[in-house]
Structure 1
Amino acid sequence: MTDTDAPPRLTRLAFHGPLSGARADRMVARLARNRPATVLDIGCGWGEMTLRVLEAVPGAVGTGLDIDAEDLERGRRSAVSRGLADRMEFVRESAEHTGRGPADLVLCLGASQALTSVEPPRHTAPALAELRGLVSPGGRVLLGEGFWQRTPTAAELSGMWPGASASDHLPLAGLVDAAVGAGFRIEWIETANEDEWEEFESGYLADAEEWLASHGGHPSAAVVRERVEGHRSAWLHYRGVLGLAYLTLIPAG
């Protein structure tokens, strides 16, 4: 499928995850209290959260790492339009064993798998260890990580991603314990609510759904339809089961 064949990509989303603007504003205000001079965004996508932090903390500079060139270019355009191009660098490279730290604020929102070659679900501990080494003393880590709100049933697992297992995620208490075990104190715990999940998942599919409605006979339609319907089915199976926690972490001395 060429670019001209494809539907628009994720134009309905401000964030690549279940995160409302109101929650993001509260997070930014809390993180800005620590006046970070440097921000490192792991798996940044188009870097919306970092750009909001830079707007809230004059003089702060940010670096975003991702391997998706399209998302990075979207981030660069956004930085230019907001007058932040000289304070934000978007870099196309792997975050595994990155030497870009330490930073006063490290963001890792739904991207902890990018920090380690260890496959989920065993990646959580090594990813937290990497984050502990990337944050400056007295700094903060904002971690967005999946967790099971309850143990999924076999029927639910069968409709999720290929090979889905109850061991793929920790419960929230287990995730918090893992962060403490990695050398962090927990400043704040919050979780995405149902409205945020629905806004994200619907927004994730909306561009493609709209395109399919008017391009049903397009040669690429079957591929797009299969992708969209597979994603929607998976979401409706993990809806109310898979959660997303946002943990604000402080490195312990």
Structure 2
Amino acid sequence: MTPPHRTRTRTRTRLTFHGPLSEARADRLVQRLASNTPATVLDIGCGWGELMLRVLAAAPKATGTGIDLNAEDLARGRQAAEARGLTDRVRFLEESATGTAHGPADLVLCVGASQALGDQLPKALADLRRLVSDHGRVLLGEGFWQRTPTPAELSRMWPDAAATDHPDLATLVDLAIEAGFRPEWTETASLDEWEEFESAYLADTEVWLAEHPDHPRAQETRQRADRHRAAWLTYRGVLGLAYLTLVPVGPMTR
């Protein structure tokens, strides 16, 4: 899960994905998800929908719906869809995903966005089971602790960070199974992917600060960037991100 202190803006020009995801892993995910020939794709907390757009390109009969509350990210997604000739096959909707009626879909993407379905992971997983068709797939990108963080580490992460914010990986998979899924594929972001993502996340801001040290907004921006860097260098190697390809178990009564 994307740490809750993080915000999204259009200044993140170095980011392809809004999370620790390499091109090589993205290619493998897209190939695996498209091989199930989804007709409909639903992206929860889609941001600019890069992964969804790649799935649509690989599954030419599929249509997609992305849901997010960030208007700037959605505008970036619409521009990308237009540039790739996908405008007639995808919608980017500025609305809450809580209780959404935009399912069931053959493929549901929820990458770093389970909080959009509720504060508690079991509820989010139950919603994902409701939103996916019985023969579909869910790609869940979810945070987990690689080890239990110390109180000192938690104090340097996001505001009010707690050891209960994430499960460990085994518990995460167990929760998915309890919600009515089987894990077709389990993989986790590498340290290289995390470092690429976090560096790219701050890169535009850092360059701007170096070039505008006396700007009226520089002090506030510098403090915000420094807090963010201190947080991610603290959870580096402690917070993991799992990519779970989940298969729904049996028919669901809706």
Shorter-chain TM band? over 0.9
3-state SS of paired residue (2:81): helix
Q: Is the 8 A contact 2:49 2:66 kept in 1?
A: yes
Please say if residues 10 and 72 of structure 2, whose CA atoms lie closer than 8 Å, have aligned partners that are also in contact: no
For 1:226 and 1:64, the matched residues in 2 are separated by 33
Superposition pairs of residues 92-131 of structure 1, within 5 angstroms: 92-116=94-118, 119=119, 123-131=120-128
CA contact (8 A) 1:8 1:208 kept: no
Q: CA deviation at 1:59?
A: 1.6
Identify which of 145, 148, 151 aligns with 1:148.
145
CA distance in 2 between counterparts of 1:192 and 1:32 reads: 21
Aligned to 1:139: 136
Matched, 1:165 2:162: yes
Which residue in the other structure is 1:229 paired with? 226
TM-score by length of 2: 0.94
Task: Say whether the 8 Å CA contact 1:8–1:207 is kept in structure 2.
Answer: no
Report Cα offsets for 1:169-188 as digits up to 9, x if no partner.
Answer: 10000000000000001100
Give TM-score, length-normalised by structure 1: 0.94
1:68 to 64, 67, 70: 70
Q: Tell me which residue corresponds to 1:59.
A: 61
Q: Which amino acid aligns with 1:91?
A: L
**Within 2, Cα distance between the matches of 1:128 and 1:67?**
20
Shift of 1:166: 1.0
SS at match of 2:87: coil
Contact 2:182 2:246 survives alignment (8 Å): yes
- Identify unmatched segments of 5+ residues in structure 2: 1-8
Distance 2:161 2:84 in 1: 40
Give 2:37's aligned residue.
35
Q: CA deviation at 1:8?
A: 5.8
SS at match of 2:213: coil
Question: SS in structure 2 opposite 1:187?
Answer: strand
Q: Deviations over 1:135-158 (max 9, x none)?
A: 001100000000000011122111
**What is the rounded CA distance, in whole Å, between the counterparts of 1:8 and 1:182 in structure 2?**
35
**1:142-221 superposed matches below 5 A:** 142-221=139-218
Q: Is the 8 Å Cα contact of residues 150 and 171 (structure 1) preserved in structure 2?
A: yes
2:22 pairs with 16, 20, 23, which one? 20
Structure 2 contact 10–73 (Cα < 8 Å) conserved? no
The CA RMSD measured in Å over matched residues stands at 0.9
Aligned equivalents of 2:53, 2:115: Cα separation in 1: 22
Listed one character per residue, the Cα deviations across residues 222-249 of structure 1 (whole Å, up to 9, x for unaligned) are: 1211111110000011000000000000
Deviations along 1:4-49, whole A, 9 cap, x unmatched? xxx9611000000000011000000001110000000000000000
Aligned runs of 1:82-93 on 2, under 5 Å? 82-93=84-95
Rounded to whole Å, the distance in 1 between the matches of 2:82 and 2:223 is 36
Q: Return the letter of the residue paired with 2:58.
A: A
Q: d(CA) in 1 for partners of 2:50 and 2:159?
A: 30
Whichever residue aligns with residue 83 of structure 2, its letter is S
Distance between the aligned counterparts of 2:10 and 2:217, measured in 1? 13
Q: Kindly indicate whether the alpha-carbon contact (under 8 Å) linking 2:44 and 2:110 is maintained by their aligned counterparts in 1.
A: yes
Instruction: State the number of aligned residues.
Output: 242
How far does residue 165 in structure 1 lie from its aligned partner after superposition?
1.1
Q: Aligned letter for 1:233?
A: A
Q: Give the share of equivalent positions with the same residue, in percent.
A: 68
